[in-house]
Structure 1
């Protein structure tokens, strides 16, 4: 219906601008109220507010509090006691102080020891030096056992085995893991068998488990030499170098262990010494003869 011709229609058209003006004014008021900061509306200019007690404490004041100092001292005491307890229990299962002795090496010692392992035939004095009933550190005595060379030789052997498998297109992470696990398991079995044999033969010796691990780990040096020779010169080079290293480690173990295993025989009687000397010598030769067997068993499949 058209309202433009009626008086009421005319009034309707006249009222529309006023309605729109009131709506715009209301929107402006709402907009102003929405964005104005009402939090400071009741505060005069320059009002900073009253500070709450305790809000202005600095870090220095907190540290100077006697209760805080007491809590910090108590926490430090608990931490030191916990560290001593951990060190005591850890040293019970893992002799950290003894391990430091076996890793006390330097470059000169490592070079001489590697030469002794590969060429032990001209070495004369095989006795370990002592100072006040304590063996000197390996860096001062080439005859002292260490764990640095066995540990590094074991890791290097795994890397060389991976290289050999890679040149034959047989490398996979699973095979390399099995190679490392196999070498470690055989080392543990060898050490346990040696300990059991020493117990059964009733040998009174100063050989420790760590000493046996060190002596058994020296064979990895010859294994590395044999595998590298196989990679460079084929199976012929592998067999020649492995044969040389097997003979070297056999001589090294015989001359080293006979002083350890037979050292207590002189303090016993003649009859006892005569009866047990043969068993001890057989045990020494068995330990030395096991090294070439493990060397061949763990490397023959790496060279083709």
Structure 2
């Protein structure tokens, strides 16, 4: 016997009818959103206002000044469009600035990280007095760059400095560090590596201490020697630390100024981008518009370098 199902027997729900919303709950959600927005403005609003006032507004005004032919202190300025940028990228002086900046940045970053890693491997062992050595190694990083520059200027003095006696002890003669452009660049590179060495070493030590001993013991049981354990186990697990130091030291080296200004006031062979900005704006040239263009180029250079490191270098980072 067949069963006949009629429309009266089955009540199907209507798909077109909107779900009912409790007005009280809707009002409560609205009040909660308003309260959260008020808290956001109360806590984040002052910080956002300060960032807009002291970061983005000066950046926008600097971009505007970079399109002007303006002498520092002059009451009038002539719009020149992109002429300042074209001059920097096409002039021999601009090419020299790029060359010095690349040499200074690459050597200081590589030197600080390699020597810092070697020092970290030594100081990570249980040696007597390692705490004192770690403190002494890190202390130059927190010292004033002006003080460091003054002390090392005396050390490199070819007539009265300590380096003179070191060269004489080995039968040589101290070079003219402050007159020879190549020696001036080498001098500030050595000082800057010495200053940042402790920072890299301390960060590497923290990374080494986070590596489980079980992995190193297992690799030793499998027959891996110290060198193979370092390249196959330690270095891959240090990749987050290396990635952090690569970004931080690169940005720091490209913005190095205080030591360069004290040891080479006129920029004799040490004209990095940021030092060239100072010389063009506050030095003998007084070209504020041209210096503004160089600072914009520096900003975008740092932005691109950071983006490339995050995009490609982070692929090689192992977080576990």
TM over 0.5: no
Band of TM-score, shorter chain: under 0.3
Report which of the two structures shows the higher radius of gyration computed on alpha carbons: 1
